[in-house]
Amino acid sequence: MTGRGTPPQDPTTPLWWGAVVLRVLTLAFAAGVVIVHYDSYARPGVAVLVVGVMTAWTALTTVAYLLPAGRRFGVAVLDLVVCCACMTSSLVALTEDQLTVWAAPLLPTIWVTGAVAAGALCGGPVAGAVFGAVISAFNYGVRGFADTDLTRDAVLLIGAGFVLGIAASTSRRAAERLARALRAEAATAERERLARSIHDGVLQVLARVSKRGNELGGEAAELARLAGEQEVALRSLVAAGPPAPTEDGTGDLSPGLQLLATDRVQVSVPATPVPLPAGTVTELVSLVREALVNVERHAGPDAHAWVLVEDLGTEVVVSVRDDGAGIPTGRLEAAQAEGRMGIARSIRGRVSGLGGTVVLDTAPDAGTEWEVRVPR
């Protein structure tokens, strides 16, 4: 970690360092093998040339893999091609007996494992296994036969690529979770700082205006009512914490609905999060907001509203109820016939798009209740 709230830029950097060290060590081993078998090669000059190519390529890949910009899958694929070409060159440098009877090491020997490591770190476990399988196939092809030793090498290459790919993928996921947690922590700390500032300033002023306005009466009472509404709304905004970060694109329905609370609107949500797809959360919050706007416009100046959220496991139920004037019989149908589609589009349309159901219970002077059921 480079600083507070700042995770490492690339969590696989230590693994890349390990891959580079592996490549250097295996190059030294391959050069030693060529020195030992030099006099027995059919074309020792080719063997020396291949070692020179391996040395140059090791230098290039070391620079590339130690820089984040060079850790690309295309570079790893090119690395694989170079390794396979070096393996194939053994057909020219080694004698027939060295390839088949004596089973002398191919020119690059274990140097080719560096390509498997690069493929796994770039592409994950599947790519690592595929790179190991390709190297193994070339090993079989150059030898021209298959035996227990070659099969053992194939299992080790494929298995090592798969395991290293899992390690790289796990490191990246852990770094992403850490980054989300750090962002959430920073957001919470900032929210608490703002809450303290608001409580010491704005909320106290609004409370004072509300109290003094009620004492004066008249037009000041209206200002007191508005100040009281804004005080409640601001307190709800400060109290509602930010949604917890998720990996699967879900969000918590509760915080968005808690922001809608005022002195005339009470919001009751479960103590635990109510996870839903992020798009569903947005639609439900918009739906409830539209229902509350209708309460404010049509239920009467003294009407109150209640929002209740129930998490039933397989579905989530959101109820919006008020004690206002209610909706006269046939009023919604008449509005729809007149071309005014607000309720149908904003509430029924949204619920239909979410695959849920909505029930309206209302009567003149008996209030209105919308019950929305959305399946998980």
Final residue of a structural domain among 130, 158, 177: 177
Whether residue 303 is contained in a domain is answered as: yes
Compare 174 and 239 and report the one with higher pLDDT: 174
Q: Tell me, yes or no, whether 206 lies in a domain.
A: no
- pLDDT tens digit string along 295-350? 887 788 888 999 999 999 899 999 999 998 887 776 666 666 655 555 656 688 88
Same domain, 25 and 149: yes
Number of domains in the chain: 2
Same domain, 40 and 173: yes
Q: With H, G, I as helix, E, B as strand and everything else as coil, classify residue 276.
A: strand
pLDDT of residue 342: 57
Q: 177, 198, 220 — which closes off a domain?
A: 177
Is residue 250 domain-shared with residue 374, that is, in the same domain?
yes
Q: Between the CA of residue 38 and those of 23, 54, 94, 214, 306, what are the distances in Å?
A: 22, 16, 10, 102, 88
Assigned domain for 265 exists: yes
Instruction: Assess whether 270 and 351 both reside in one domain.
Output: yes
Average pLDDT over every residue of 207-233: 75
| pLDDT computed for residue 60 by the predictor | 97
Same domain, 143 and 262: no
**Domain stops at, among 144, 177, 210:** 177
Q: Which domain holds residue 317?
A: 244-376
C-alpha 41: how far from chain center: 54
Same-domain pairing of 33 and 115: yes
How many helices (H) and strands (E) are present in the chain, helices listed first? 15, 7
Position 121 in a domain: yes
Q: Is 267 helix (H, G, I), strand (E, B) or coil?
A: strand
Of the given ranges (130-134, 173-177, 249-253), which has the lowest mean pLDDT? 249-253
183, part of any domain: no
User: Which tokens is 103 given?
Assistant: 């089973």
In percent, how much of the chain has pLDDT > 90? 48
User: Of 27-36, 122-131, 139-148, 214-223, which range is least confident?
Assistant: 214-223
Q: Give the pLDDT score at 6.
A: 44
Of the listed ranges 30-44, 343-357, 358-372, the least confidently predicted one is 343-357
Q: Across the chain, which distance is largest between two alpha carbons, in Å?
A: 110
User: Which pLDDT band holds residue 182 (cuts at 50, 70, 90)?
Assistant: confident
CATH number (domain holding residue 331): 3.30.565.10
Residue 248 falls within a domain, yes or no? yes
User: Would 203 be classed as within a structural domain?
Assistant: no
